Chain A
Amino acid sequence: MRDTIRFLKNGQLVTLNDVGPTDTVLDYLRLTRLETGTKEGCGEGDCGACTVAVGRLVNGELQYSPVNSCIQLVGMLDGAELVCVNDLAMDGTMHPVQQALADMGGSQCGFCTPGFVMSLFTLYHQKGKSESRKAVTEWLSGNLCRCTGYRPIVDAAMESCFKVADDVFSARSVETIAKLRELDDKRDVFIGTTERFLASPATIEGLASLYHSYPDATLVAGATDVGLWITKQLRDLPRVIWLGRLDTLSGLEESDAGVLLGASVTYQDAEDAMTRLSPDLGALWKRIGSKQVRASGTVGGNIANGSPIGDTPPALIALGATLELHSTSGSRTLALEDYFIEYGKQDRREGEFVSGVFIPRPLKNQIFRCYKISKRFDQDISSVMAAFLFTVGSNGSIDDARIAYGGMAGTPRRALGAEKSLIGASLENPSNWSVAMQALNSDFKPMSDMRAGAEYRKETARALLAKALMEASGTAGPQIRLRGPDQEAAE
């Protein structure tokens, strides 16, 4: 057992023994260390002004990810390297991304700038990146700028981020890697008292037993949701268990049958596997939250919390995903759609935690499509999310359909009426489809909220079914969606 949090900063080991369960990295930087370069813009991980880089070992290599420090817990820094904007300039010389941003008009009011600097710092160190403006704008999806209109920022990224990394961080990377290895001591961490603690077990057994003892503890994977409970709802979370140090939960297994995602695998780390599973899923994946949210957030956490913000579950439900739950009394598996009982209520028993999600790979005779509708393309929550898995018979008729929607009810849910009415329908004959469209009207009674009105949701649900069928039938003509994935390249 260890009662400290240990991480690297500026090449030095930092050891903290007084870490509260809800202390955020941003407050730690600004209020404790008085390093005020990192800014708070929104306090909910949506603007990116507070972005810092967190370095970790991934397959033995040092990888820097952008993280919203306002909703990251200090305890989650354990075993990592923390880099913030104040750390980049060395001996009066600016980092290449800083220099480019400054010289090319990348800052105006300057308040978002430290966040952009840090996002670009992580891009600068990213391996195997593609050199394109599109890659840059994707990478910057979690950084809002209200002044520049982004063009000069993207220019600065193109100028500085696609050369071989040559900074103090790359120079000392061997040393850093060695230090990070040393920090990975596989010991359980527990700071505080039984009433108020931050814990980080190193084994799944340790987790099960701790959670068994404190079933009211808050399990935290990426904190992209729980962070807001702290910063916005001002909830006190006296007992927090961070799952980030459990190897068994961070595994990702790809097979012909599908992909098994450990509960603490981040969206970022699952992206390639999801794209291989389906280009539509890969395209959706790139629009979940932002780069920062995907770097910390996990599929398991999103599902486990029953977060109302769930753009992935409809896609996973349509694909027939199953959930694995674990506790001291063993494991069980259930269909993902059965987990969501109603708004805010999930089928998770006391002491039980989500350990993994299995996502089946579509078969050769299956066509998968998913669509996300939102006001803004990147980093927005869908007003309507729709996913379709059609099993097509040799005669072009639909043998089976799995259809799931988000934004249409209190939980992500299957459109059972529409599914049923499609069975036997011919993909070649659009007149066959209208019954299914009508069935959607009885499958869902959506609400109006700030994202969209009920009427728009209903008609868009029908339109997306029509679109999926048009695409599946191959009769769609030239192009019927704006920014979909490149289907031909993938299939």
Chain B
Amino acid sequence: MRKGPTDTGAPQSYDHVHKSLKHDSADKHVSGTATYIDDMVEPRGTLHAVPGWDRSNVRGRILSMDLGEVEACPGVVKVLTSMDIPGKNDCSAAFGGDPVLAEDELLFFGQVLFVVIATTREAARKAARKAKIEISPITPLITVEDAVSADLTVLPDYQFRRGSPETGFTASDQVQTGVFHIGGQEHFYLEGQVAMAVPQEDGGMHVYTSTQHPSEVQHTVAKVLGVADARVIAEVRRMGGGFGGKESQANQWAALAALGSQATGQAVKIRLDRDDDMIMTGKRHDFRVEWKIGHNAEGLIRAVDMQFLARCGYSADLSLGVCDRTMFHADSSYFYPDVVIHNRRMKTDTCSNTAFRGFGGPQGMIAAERMIDAIAIKLGKDPLDVRKLNFYNGERNVTPYGMPVEEHDVLHDVVAKLEESSDYWARREAVRAFNAKSPVLKKGLALTPVKFGISFTLKHLNQAGALVHLYTDGSVHLNHGGTEMGQGLYQKVAQVVAEEFGVSMDKVVITATSTEKVPNTAPTAASSGCDLNAMAAKKAASVIKQRLVDFVCERHQCDADAVSFRNNSVLIGDLSLPLSEVANAAHQERIHLSDAGFYSTPGITWDRDSASGRPFLYFAYGASCAEVVVDTMTGEMEVERVDLLHDVGHSINPALDMGQVEGGFVQGMGWLTTEELVWDESGKLRTHAPSTYKIPTASDIPEDFRVELYESKGNPQDTIYRSKAVGEPPVMLANSVFCAITDAVASIVPGHIPDLNAPATPENIMKAVHAMRQKAAAQRAGG
């Protein structure tokens, strides 16, 4: 059997931590016995909810909704509209403006107008199409450009500014400008949105929900039903993928199920059809970026001006944090001496764009890479040289938002190691030689860095709770506020708790995340799941352990340092007692064997109003090198080889981290290549199923794919076992693929910057190729 990856840099003195143990549910996944919400045994009389919407209109005033025919359909029990909401008709994360069910206006294509509750899902689906909706249409704003013309935003503009970019541009040897379009991305979690609400006594509601943010589902359901938060339990054992798409976007479906349940007194399950899911829920923000960069003859950046115009959709949702993070990452890994970064959060009549792995960061970074490529192409230098020249270093080490880049040596080392292991310079020569001989197929090569800030930039989210019980048989019940969406968080936290108690993994029983066990939790997002929850769980376990140590010391008259926990036993000097015996004895002495741990990230001081302070505890680093080949007649592209090197500090579980690195890269590659969201002129999303929206398949993975974890000295910050967060940063490793395609297209006519927009579909690649040829022709014509 293939050996799991090891973290060669990490201390090896632990039994469970730093070990490549498999995902806690792996055996259940492959056996089909891992239970997702739609697989749960349904309570007697469970009904099914299906959202109703209008397929012909995008935006307008709702004149009438005739639901008579819907109600008359076989199996229909109830049809609910916004009039039936006893509480507040809002499922937004923070800012309001997200109706659970439309009121007077249709805000976007796919907005839910009513919900059908029926005895079967099929009956509800059929009935939902029978509504007669009368809409007085309003011309929708679809693109960012539409919204800019109308000057409509969902949130105020924001900017970071340092020094005088105006002076900087004047002092620059050269100034490049450009406009860059970056596409959005559909999450395409394999398990679509789903929830099941089961009514409880006294108006309470137990909601099983596929969400990254159970607390928000709890609050939303309570708000919509008009009951106290304490009456609602939100529970999630696992999601079939989240990627940010079940952070705020899960609220509405849980609320609809709960509404149906409240109205009928029966359990109600809602599971969206894939097309409905893709049409109704928000996606990664797409951007128009207007950039300007001044530099010297060597390519050293002097001044930068970037305007990020984000398509936020019809409501604010999480756009504040997403767009802020775009700005926080508009520097990629480069020092901008004089800089202004603007951001406008444009309001369009489209679904409300939301969190997606990287949370705006990838868009900021790929824009930065475009600027670096532009400098290199204009100066005829290798892009990697220009990248390295502009990296943060000992002197140039403060970001545009004022945070010092402390681990710049890690950035340099990761890139240097990959430069060597990927054999970058020899391959650069080989690519050049290939292109000289190949008129149609052109190769491209790029090596790009990743520097990603870890912490929620909204300070209050950087907290977590855990609930740990030790039972008298020596088994441990583990619960925390983090959710499991495939990343292996439950497994990692369990390893930390097993280490703390010195018990074997089978003694730690992982339980579903529930708002009744750990309250007021943060979403499992921002890559923070393990950093926060493992710390909270470790604290809970260590408190219980300390009580046992105190108990043992007293009973055996020894010092605390003579007591240790290992192999399901408590070692007291030369004496070894089973943990169960010690736990039982402690219980007899009325010692509390349960604790609620709590952790809040220290050292975060970001103040948004003054745009100052430290938003991140630390940065995660990585680098990737991609080689592609492009058909310049058709725009087809193939990724031939990819080398990744990624910094996870001292990994809690190298195998799981490797899974995040590879999976994140491939997801990022999809975003930048094959995944294209297309709205037609009327504002209807046309890519709303896997038949038209293309995420990578197995054959899109490069045949030569080399992935390593960086041999780290450990996170300099005091994180859980000195590990680093890994959920999001690897997405941006895919920037190398896009830059390599840019490099291939640039090879057609040296000195011209390809107008390649993301995603680099065959069509977008051909547009860039044509633009290059036209530029060349114009240049020849101009002499």
Contact = CB atoms under 8 A, between A and B. Distances in A.
A381 interface: yes
A95 B62 CA distance: 55
A479 interface: yes
Contact of B126 (A143, A232, A234): A234
B662 A149 contact: yes
A376 B629 contact: no
Please report whether the interface of chain A is mostly helix, strand, loop or mixed according to DSSP: loop
B191 A109 contact: yes
Interface string B246-260: 000000000000000
A46 B691 contact: yes
B230 interface: no
A449 B452 CA distance: 37
Contacts of B23: 105, 107-108, 110
Contact of A146 (B125, B667, B698): B667
A105 B678 contact: no
B564 interface: no
A168 to B, nearest CB: 15
A248 interface: no
B293 to A, nearest CB: 30
B19 to A, nearest CB: 13
Contacts of A379: 697
A38 B34 CA distance: 11
B687 interface: yes
A149 B762 contact: no
Interface in A464-491: 464, 466-467, 476-483
A102 B27 contact: yes
A435 B131 CA distance: 54
Interface string B25-37: 1111111111110
Contacts of B242: 109
A122 interface: no
B634 A46 contact: no
A213 interface: no
Interface in B168-205: 187-192
B333 to A, nearest CB: 23
Interface in A40-93: 40-44, 46-47, 49, 84-86, 88-89
Interface string B409-445: 0000000000000000000000000000111110000
Contacts of A378: 697-700
A94 B763 contact: no
Interface in A343-376: 371, 373-376
Given A47-B690, A102-B29, A112-B190, A147 B441 contact: no
A147 B663 contact: yes
Nearest to A84: B32
Listed residue (B487, B663, B680, B695) with the most chain A CB atoms within 10 angstroms of its CB: B663
Interface in A443-481: 449-453, 456, 459-460, 463-464, 466-467, 476-481
Contact of A47 (B31, B190, B239, B678): B190
A297 to B, nearest CB: 14
A232 B125 CA distance: 10
Interface string A295-310: 0000000000000000
B696 A376 contact: yes
Nearest to A479: B441
B273 interface: yes
A41 B36 CA distance: 12
Interface stretch (A134-142, A318-326, A332-340, A421-429): A134-142
Contact of A140 (B437, B694, B697): B697
A451 B692 CA distance: 7
Contacts of A449: 678, 686
A456 to B, nearest CB: 4
A161 interface: no
Contacts of B705: 151
Given A102-B22, A105-B655, A467-B633, A43 B274 contact: yes
Interface stretch (A152-160, A184-192, A393-401): A152-160
B30 A108 contact: no
A470 B612 CA distance: 61
Contact of B31 (A88, A155, A232, A477): A88
B280 to A, nearest CB: 15
Nearest to B273: A43
A105 to B, nearest CB: 5
Interface in B1-57: 1-2, 4, 22-23, 25-36, 38-39
Interface residues of B, number: 91
A339 to B, nearest CB: 24
A39 interface: yes
Nearest to B275: A232
A424 B383 CA distance: 49
A46 B699 contact: no
A478 B436 CA distance: 12
Nearest to A234: B126
B676 interface: yes
Most chain B CB inside 10 Å of its own CB: which residue of A84, A138, A152, A482: A482
A89 B31 contact: yes
Given A138-B699, A146-B189, A377-B700, A234 B30 contact: no
B550 interface: no
B701 interface: yes
A479 B691 CA distance: 31
A144 interface: yes
Contacts of A482: 441, 629, 631, 636-638
B191 A94 contact: no
B270 interface: no
B30 A106 contact: yes
B763 A453 contact: yes
Nearest to B767: A456
Contact of A149 (B38, B638, B665): B665
B117 interface: no
B763 A383 contact: yes
B243 interface: yes
B4 A380 contact: no
B585 interface: no
B488 interface: yes
A46 B188 CA distance: 12
Interface in A1-54: 35-44, 46-47, 49
B148 interface: no
A129 interface: no
B30 A102 contact: yes
A176 interface: no
B509 interface: no
A159 B1 contact: yes
A386 to B, nearest CB: 10
Given A110-B28, A482-B441, A151 B275 contact: no
B395 interface: no
A106 B698 CA distance: 12
A88 B766 CA distance: 47
A136 B698 CA distance: 9
B689 A110 contact: no
B25 A110 contact: yes
A150 interface: yes
Nearest to A107: B29
A478 B438 contact: yes
B502 interface: no
Nearest to B4: A105
Given A375-B761, A467-B633, A153 B698 contact: yes
A283 interface: no
B461 interface: no
Interface in B426-485: 437-441, 485
8 contacts: A147-B663, A373-B634, A376-B696, A377-B699, A450-B680, A464-B633, A477-B439, A482-B638
Interface of B: 1-2, 4, 22-23, 25-36, 38-39, 125-126, 129, 187-192, 238-243, 273-275, 437-441, 485-488, 629, 631, 633-638, 655-656, 658-659, 662-667, 674, 676, 678, 680, 686-687, 689-692, 694-701, 703, 705, 707, 761-763, 766-767, 770
A-B pairs with the 5 shortest C-beta distances? Answer: A37-B32, A109-B486, A111-B240, A110-B29, A149-B666
